[in-house]
């Protein structure tokens, strides 16, 4: 399929590059680091070869979210966003941008998002999970009350917010001791992001701000396949769920969430997601440079789904959600 749009596609600036070291092993670090630092070279070649018209770019992980010094986090976010705005301006047909945000301070994050959307035309924000603030062991999740004015700004700007994974901090990761292979994309990324998203759904956030649009990657971080059980656990007891939200969790998932195919290139999984959340809420992505563009595109272009759904997921859903122009 030609004209695909991909939106979990990462880059790095020198100050954040080493945050991506170690995930894929030392042997591939020269290749991975080169991919992260490149924007207008090999990246465009890969896009051209595999039918990707536009990438929405975002900073690598955990980057800003792991900087517990609030002032420094704000500086790095601004530096990254300024750099990305310059790169997009060089080739806006091929590239668009998500803002990096210093959510250690919700007010600073709201102001930076406004700057990026209004001054640079960024299409939303991508944040790498919880933010460490003040001390390395202080982790802030975005359902907390201090973040609600930030979410008011997001709704007012009418831009999507991509909740991207990160690993749990070491102090909270005892379950993985002796099994480090479970960290990262194998399991911990999805588990961490799914719980964060469920906290947001159960907090009442979407009752207060019903027009929020949240994106999660990797075919939904396991959430589509758990929705029924989350809402129907031990239904025979008649006990109401103990959360602040007014509706079922699945209601918020269906109304306020979009998922991407990033790093999860399996047709059975895609079809399951389509049955749960619907083809209108699924978006093509690759997860370059951590995954290969050809793996994503070759799979998607031949997946056993209808051509109308392929066009929606590959292109028109993203055009509509991110206001990218003519579909």
pLDDT at 321: 98
pLDDT at 7: 97
Q: How many whole angstroms separate alpha carbon 35 and alpha carbon 233?
A: 44
In this prediction, what percent of the chain has a pLDDT beyond 90?
Answer: 95
C-alpha to C-alpha distance for 320 and 45, rounded to whole angstroms: 26
Residue 325, pLDDT score = 82
Q: What is the pLDDT of residues 61-103, one digit of tens each?
A: 999 999 999 999 999 999 999 999 999 999 999 999 999 999 9
Whole-angstrom Cα distance, residue 273 to residue 261?
Answer: 10
The CATH topology of domain 4-321 is TIM Barrel (3.20.20)
pTM over 0.95: yes
Reply yes or no on whether 143 is catalytic: no
pLDDT digits (tens, 9 = 90+) for 211-269: 999 999 999 999 999 999 999 998 889 898 999 999 999 999 999 999 999 999 999 99
- What is the DSSP annotation of 162-220? EEE--PPPGGG-GGGTT-GGGTGGGTHHHHHHHHHHHHHHHTTHHHH-TT--EEE-GGG
Of 231, 287, 294, 309, the catalytic one is: 287
Per-residue pLDDT, 327? 46
Q: Reduced to 3 DSSP states, what percent helix, strand and coil does the chain have, rounded to the nearest 5? A: 50, 15, 35
**How far from chain centre, in Å, is Cα 84?**
17
Which letter does DSSP use for residue 159 in this model?
A: -
How confident is the model at residue 25, as a pLDDT?
84
Q: Which of 57, 152, 73 is nearest to 114 (CA)?
A: 152
Is residue 282 over pLDDT 90?
yes
Whether 213 contacts 154, CB under 8 Å: no
């Amino acid at each position: 399929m030609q004209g695909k749009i991909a939106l979990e596609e990462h880059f790095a600036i020198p100050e954040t590059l080493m945050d991506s070291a170690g995930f894929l092993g030392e042997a591939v670090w020269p290749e991975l680091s080169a991919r992260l630092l490149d924007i207008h070279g090999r990246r465009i070649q890969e896009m051209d070869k595999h039918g990707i018209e536009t990438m929405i770019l975002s900073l690598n992980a955990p980057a800003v979210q792991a900087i517990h010094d609030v002032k420094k986090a704000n500086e790095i976010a601004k530096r990254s966003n300024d750099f990305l705005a310059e790169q997009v301006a060089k080739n806006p047909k091929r590239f668009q941008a998500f803002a990096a945000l210093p959510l250690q301070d919700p007010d600073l994050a709201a102001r930076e998002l406004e700057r990026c959307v209004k001054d640079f035309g960024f299409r939303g924000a991508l944040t790498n999970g919880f933010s460490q603030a003040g001390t390395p062991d202080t982790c802030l999740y975005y359902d907390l009350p201090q973040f609600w004015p930030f979410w008011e700004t997001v709704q007012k700007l009418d831009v999507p917010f991509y909740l991207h994974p990160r690993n749990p901090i070491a102090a909270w990761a005892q379950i993985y001791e002796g099994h480090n292979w479970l960290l990262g994309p194998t399991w911990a990324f999805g588990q961490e992001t799914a719980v964060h998203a469920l906290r947001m759904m159960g907090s009442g956030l979407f009752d207060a701000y019903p027009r929020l649009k949240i994106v999660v990657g990797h075919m939904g971080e396991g959430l589509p396949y758990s929705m029924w059980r989350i809402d129907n656990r031990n239904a025979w007891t008649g006990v109401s769920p103990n959360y602040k939200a007014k509706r079922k969790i699945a209601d918020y998932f269906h109304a306020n969430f979009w998922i991407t195919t990033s790093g999860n290139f399996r047709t059975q999984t895609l079809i399951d997601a389509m049955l749960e959340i619907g083809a209108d809420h699924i978006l093509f992505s690759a997860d370059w440079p951590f995954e290969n563009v050809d793996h994503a595109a070759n799979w998607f272009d031949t997946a056993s789904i209808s051509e109308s759904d392929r066009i929606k997921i590959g292109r028109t859903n993203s055009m509509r959600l991110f206001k990218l122009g003519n579909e």
